[in-house]
Structure 1
Amino acid sequence: MTMGDGDAGGRLFPEDLDGVDPVAAVRLADACRALSAYPELVAVGTLFTAAEHVPGGWQVVCPCDPLPQGVRELLAGRLEDLAALAGGAREDELLAAARAVQGEAADEVAAAGRRFRIVRIEQLVRTGPDGPEPPRPTDPDPRPAAGRAASVRPYELLPEDDPVSEPAAELLCRLLDAAAAAGHEPSGAFLTPVALAPAFTVAERSERRWRPVGRLHGAPQQARDALITYFRHVVPAVESPADADVTRFAEAAELLEAESRRNGIAVAGRRFRIVRIERITLMGPDGPEPPRPTDFDAR
């Protein structure tokens, strides 16, 4: 595939448009532009979640955590909640599964006719001459109505039999290269990539590199809101800058609030950017990849 904008557009929109999903085509064109503008992929660490096997794939059932044990604790709590609703023998099975996950560090359990697994997710950031990739125009970026909290993104389904998309295949190639260089290659049983929805965070430019300075968010606007809060409340209360800089940070917060979809800002000699984080999990014939023996864990 040619990565230039014009040629990519021509390849993506064939003469016969019957059966073409226009939304998917626009997103693919956006991904091709990202490949050109931000050609390098940098692995930025792993996350873990828990999923339940359901018809069609594996349904994510809890938030992500940097450690497998953190997710085991979350899954144990969910199993206990399910047990309280089940009653009888099913309750006993689900409580036993919760104990196995929490106390025995089990990465997979089956109980009451249901099957759960701890799932490994790799995070990657695209970079280019200007730094890390910001949100794309096609990334969902809702702005909550005044007085209303931002909506929570629903948990995802990891499909078992969907064809591999070109962006996911490209992510897998880069991921395998990085893993081979680090000596942490995945098992050959897990080589089918499934791309999850991207996450977003705030990064600040230091002397030599960009570094994340906040938690992950489900939408770019949530990351902007976090940066606005940092400018308005954290900087003056915690960092105690000069009065003139406090004013500059307050003005920067106003600018971020007023300009929809603004992804970068410089204030008081510092540079900040909303950064897009791609996420991928690897599937095998029996489901998604669990934690690897080389992954750091706290038990």
Structure 2
Amino acid sequence: MNYDGHPVPDHLLINVEHRDDPVSAVTEDDARRRSRAYPKLLWGAPLFGTAEEVDGRWRIMSLLADWPQAARDGLGSHFRRLRSETPDSPENAAERKGYAAAFQLLDWEVVNDLTVNDRRYRIIRAQPLIRMGADGPEPPRPTDPDVAVDRQSGQAQSQMEGFVIDPTANSGLSDALLRMEMVSAFYKAGAVPDDVRGDSQQAVDTHPNVVLLPVGFTVAECDGGSWRPRSLSTYPTPQAARDAAAFRFSDIIPDEDASLDEIREAYARALEQYEAPRGDEFELNGVRCRVTRVECFVRVGPDGPEGPRPSDWDPEPPPERHFQQLREQGLMVDPD
């Protein structure tokens, strides 16, 4: 394939693979049916995480933060851990120094892209979306794996961690169509503030392709005929989402004026009575709930995945700068 007389750059490719195996055929049929039943795509608030470049591709380390600084703090913690795990010896002195310089920089400065010990790291931005139909948000598909929570770890294994952002990877037809639809998508006038819309539109030019990330699941609740997320968190399987939603702490406490002993007693009773729902539709405290499928994509450009945008909500400064501000305001004791 050529692009202006030259081979198409990797970051612009969408490779569509025709798959004849029965599982792929059923998966594609599920996707077609759901695209008709749930035709409206609604974007959620962006997620932020960390990625590292390995062999020319970017690999997700984590994708859990609601704002960029939380992801930067996580990256700083990662470098602290690497330094602590690197033996303190003369031959490792330069490596340990590189990790220390990295987390000290992140403690003070807003940095979204840095190289540490010859490896690149980046704060990345991802866009979740859900499909809506006449009856509400899209539930899990029959072909979505639905395993129970790992009882030893207390959580289902994340599919995001270690995922390689590769725009050249083969896509099924339905995923390729969604990618092509999202390539030119940006916020419409009036839907968001002008600066948010402007950044969204600019991202189409600077990061002109998208890569779909592993699907996640959450629980939505219907209140007065309108659906809203019961939790802002997403989980790797439908059952993990059911488990989390069925045991929300705010549903357990007797009332807002309850004493600590009353809260403890209520929590103990809830643990004894706890039984997570198994279906995709259920009621919690009389409220209709539905396990909801959450798709997610990241924009990519010539230099890899998109980072935070200037208009993204980022309420906190780096930690040491924040501490300094608090000390100047007399709200924190000076360590000296």
Alignment of 1:1-299 (within 5 A): 20-55=20-55, 57-86=57-86, 87-144=92-149, 149-154=154-159, 155=161, 156-163=163-170, 165=172, 166-171=174-179, 173-174=181-182, 176-181=184-189, 182=192, 183=197, 184-185=200-201, 186-214=203-231, 215-230=233-248, 234-238=250-254, 254=275, 257=277, 260=278, 262-266=279-283, 269-298=286-315, 299=317
Q: Structure 2 unaligned segments of length 5 or more: list them.
A: 1-16, 87-91, 257-265, 318-336
Listed one character per residue, the Cα deviations across residues 155-188 of structure 1 (whole Å, up to 9, x for unaligned) are 1221242245542542552574442444232151
- Could you tell me which residue of structure 2 aligns to residue 10 of structure 1? none
Deviation larger for 136-145 or 169-178:
169-178
Amino acid corresponding to residue 59 of structure 1 in structure 2: R
The answer to whether the Cα contact below 8 Å between 1:56 and 1:161 also exists between their aligned partners in 2 is no
CA distance in 2, matches of 1:79, 1:144: 30
Shift of 1:56: 5.5
The answer to whether the Cα contact below 8 Å between 2:41 and 2:130 also exists between their aligned partners in 1 is yes
TM score, norm. by length of structure 1: 0.79
Shift of 1:277: 1.0
Q: How many residues align?
A: 270
Shift of 1:34: 1.4
The answer to whether the Cα contact below 8 Å between 2:217 and 2:237 also exists between their aligned partners in 1 is yes
Listed one character per residue, the Cα deviations across residues 100-120 of structure 1 (whole Å, up to 9, x for unaligned) are 333211101101111100110
Give 3-state SS (helix, strand or coil) of 1:99's partner.
Answer: helix
Deviation larger for 23-32 or 218-227:
23-32
Shift of 1:124: 0.5
Listed one character per residue, the Cα deviations across residues 190-248 of structure 1 (whole Å, up to 9, x for unaligned) are 12111111221111111141111223212110111123324xx75353459xxxxx9xx
Shift of 1:75: 0.6
Q: What percentage of aligned pairs have identical amino acids?
A: 31
Higher RCO (Cα < 8 Å, 6 or more apart): 2
Shift of 1:129: 0.2
The answer to whether the Cα contact below 8 Å between 1:97 and 1:111 also exists between their aligned partners in 2 is yes
Give 3-state SS (helix, strand or coil) of 2:52's partner.
Answer: strand
Shift of 1:24: 3.4
Instruction: Find the structure with the greater CA-based Rg.
Output: 2
Shift of 1:94: 2.0
CA distance in 2, matches of 1:89, 1:78: 17
The answer to whether the Cα contact below 8 Å between 2:43 and 2:128 also exists between their aligned partners in 1 is yes
The answer to whether the Cα contact below 8 Å between 1:50 and 1:117 also exists between their aligned partners in 2 is yes
CA distance in 2, matches of 1:167, 1:150: 27
Please provide the CA RMSD for this pair: 3.0
Shift of 1:266: 3.4
CA distance in 1, matches of 2:45, 2:183: 11
